[in-house]
Every structure is written in C-alpha cells, then in structure tokens.
Amino acid sequence: MDKNKLRQVDFGKLQNFYTLFREGSISKASIATGVTRRTYYYDLAVLEEVFETKLYLSGKKNFILTDEGKKLADLCKTILDSLSQVTESDSSFTEGNITIHTTASLGLYYFPKIIREFREKYPNITIELLSGPEYLGSKYHDFDITVGPYLSDKRDLSQNLLNIYEYGYFASEEYLNKYGTPKAIEDLRNHKMICYAGEHLLSDEILSKAQVIVKSNSYLTLTELCLLGLGICSLSLDLYNFMIKDEPLRYSKLHRVFPDYVSERDNIYFSFFKFTTKEKPIRDIFEMLKNLVKLEKLQN
C-alpha cells in the first residue's frame, strides 16, 4: 500500500471502509452507523481512485474484498487500534448488551455459571446468549463474542484457543446387550453408528464402512439417541462428565467403548472483535470461562 497515496485520504473514509469490512455490506454498515449508503459508495470510489485498484468485488450481495482491499482493511484496523489506545480513558463499557454465539453444549453446561458470575460484576449489562450451529460462523458481525470453531478469513477478530475437547465412543447397555461389544476399532464397521452432521466427523474409514443410521447437528440429540440404544456415538468426554454429575443414574447407562481411544478432537476458540468499546467486560468473560474450563479439568 503506497504511503504517499495514503496521505491523500482523510481518516473518515478509512473508518468507513473498515466499517464496511466489519459489517459485510453497505446496507448493514448504513444501518449500524446511520451513515448514508451514498456516502459509503462515494468513499469507496474515492479510495479506489486514490489507490488505482479495485478494493472489492462487484456483483456480490455481500462486501467481498480483493487482495488489495484486505491489505487496506488490515491497515485501517491497525490505525483504529492505535488510535483507541491513545484516546482510551479510565471509563469502560458498563451498561448495554453483549451478544454471545456458541454451541448448544457450551451454552447449556458452561455459560449459566459464567453469566451468574458476570452479572455480579456488571449488573447493568444484558447478556444475549444464542447457542446452536446456526449461530456459529456468522458472516454478518452480529455478535460481540463467539465461542466455537476457528473462523477463517476473519481478520478483525481476536481468536484465542480456549480448549481442545476430546471425544470417545459411547453406547447404551441396551445396544451392547443386543449387538455385542466391539473389541477393536475395525469392529465398528459391523455396528450401527450415529454421528454429528457438522464440520468435524468420524474418520472416513469408519464412515465409509460403518452403517451410519442417523446424523444430527446437535450433540444433545445424539446423546438421547445413544441412550435409547440406536447406535454407537462419538461424544465429548467433557460433556459426558457434565451429564454424569447432573444425572448419574440416567447417564451411567452409557458406557464408553475403547476407553483408551480418542475418536475426535475439537479445537474451541474464544473470539471477539479487536476494535470494540466492550473489550474490558469481554475479556472478563474470557477469564471466567478459562477458569471454569481449568476447574473442570482438575475435577475430572
């Protein structure tokens, strides 16, 4: 990016360009900021004229950056981050909303404790917790925090590895009594499998040869199917530990097959926008969540 050309651009146009990148489209940016669409179109034209290059791909519903556009967006973020540090005061975000997107399991078993602790420190902040696969990987920047898989091509997010969750094979007493207990991984080819219908699945070897009878995008649903004796399922060991503590009589009916074998590993990240006035309470949520994860590991 030509520094001499950058000097010809006023700060407002750079800020508007970054807002476009963050919101994902001109219409969403206009709604979020109150700046007219005409202004965004004009600023885009000025920036492309100054830098003599195309910054976004036309004919798309959303705002898709070219390689040069991505470089400028990164530069805008750096400038805004630096400006934020210079102008930062002692005041912090203590009133308003924080929207969290996460998985159904994390939303059910982790966040109630986190929210209770958070509310004691920030009584005037409302938490909007939206959990489920439909909320992960949102393209519309309609969250403050997302806790789930790593989000690629999200340059304006700070993505921090929270935990690596390991999975094991489980089956109910009813299923094992009916179909027998597999003695080796290869034996799964002769069993009925129920598995997650998402980004991370069982190995191709198992899926191609085993009889997969149900796929679901909810691990809670898979757990219920497993309890009913429909098949063998790969479940999070952490989730199983939560369930066995809550309802020992019910979930003790699930038995881990191959107790020394890890069927899957799932990296979970805590992600939030780098340039936000809500950074202090967001980082507090991150610390609370990390401490809870550490505590659960010690107890297990």
Residue where a domain stops, chosen among 40, 70, 87: 87
Angle at 69 between CA 68 and CA 73, to 5 degrees: 120
- Whole-angstrom distance, CA of residue 232 vs CA of residue 235: 10
Same domain, 234 and 280: yes
Region label for 132, one of left (φ > 0), alpha (ψ between -120 and 50) or beta (otherwise): left
Residue 90, pLDDT > 50, answer: no
89 pLDDT tier (thresholds 50, 70, 90): very low
Residue 81, pLDDT > 80, answer: no
pLDDT of residue 59: 56
1 pLDDT tier (thresholds 50, 70, 90): low
Q: Which two tokens stand for residue 148?
A: 């789930």
Which residues are CB-contacts of 171 (< 8 A; sequence separation ≥ 6)? 181, 226, 231, 232, 233, 254, 255, 257
Q: Which two tokens stand for residue 150?
A: 């790593």
Same domain, 73 and 96: no
Tens digit of each residue's pLDDT (9 = 90 or more) over 21-71: 877 788 888 887 778 888 888 888 888 888 888 888 765 566 788 888 888
Bridge-based pairing state of the strands 192-196 and 232-236: parallel
Same domain, 174 and 223: yes
What b/e sequence results for 159-177 when a residue is b if at least 16 CB atoms lie within 10 Å of its CB, and e otherwise? beebbebebbbbbbeebbe
Q: In this structure, which amino acid lies at residue 86?
A: V
Tens digit of each residue's pLDDT (9 = 90 or more) over 241-299: 888 888 999 999 999 999 998 888 889 999 998 777 888 999 999 999 999 888 777 66
Same domain, 163 and 217: yes
Q: Which CATH number do you get for residue 121?
A: 3.40.190.290
Same domain, 115 and 40: no
Number of domains in the chain: 2
Calculate what percentage of the chain has a pLDDT beyond 90: 35
Same domain, 292 and 158: yes
Same domain, 62 and 119: no
Same domain, 82 and 32: yes
Residue where a domain stops, chosen among 87, 102, 137: 87
- Whole-angstrom distance, CA of residue 138 vs CA of residue 133: 10
Residue 86, pLDDT > 60, answer: no
Same domain, 181 and 246: yes
Same domain, 199 and 296: yes
Residue numbers of the domain that contains 144: 92-300
Same domain, 168 and 198: yes
Q: Which CATH number do you get for residue 24?
A: 1.10.10.10
Residue where a domain stops, chosen among 39, 60, 87: 87
Same domain, 165 and 67: no
Helix axes of 37-51 and 11-23: crossing angle, nearest 10 degrees: 110
| Lowest-pLDDT range of 11-25, 170-184, 215-229 | 11-25
Q: In this structure, which amino acid lies at residue 21?
A: F
Q: What is the DSSP string of 191-239?
A: SEEEEE-SSS-S-HHHHHHSEEEEEES-HHHHHHHHHTTS-EEEEEHHH
Residue 148, pLDDT > 80, answer: yes
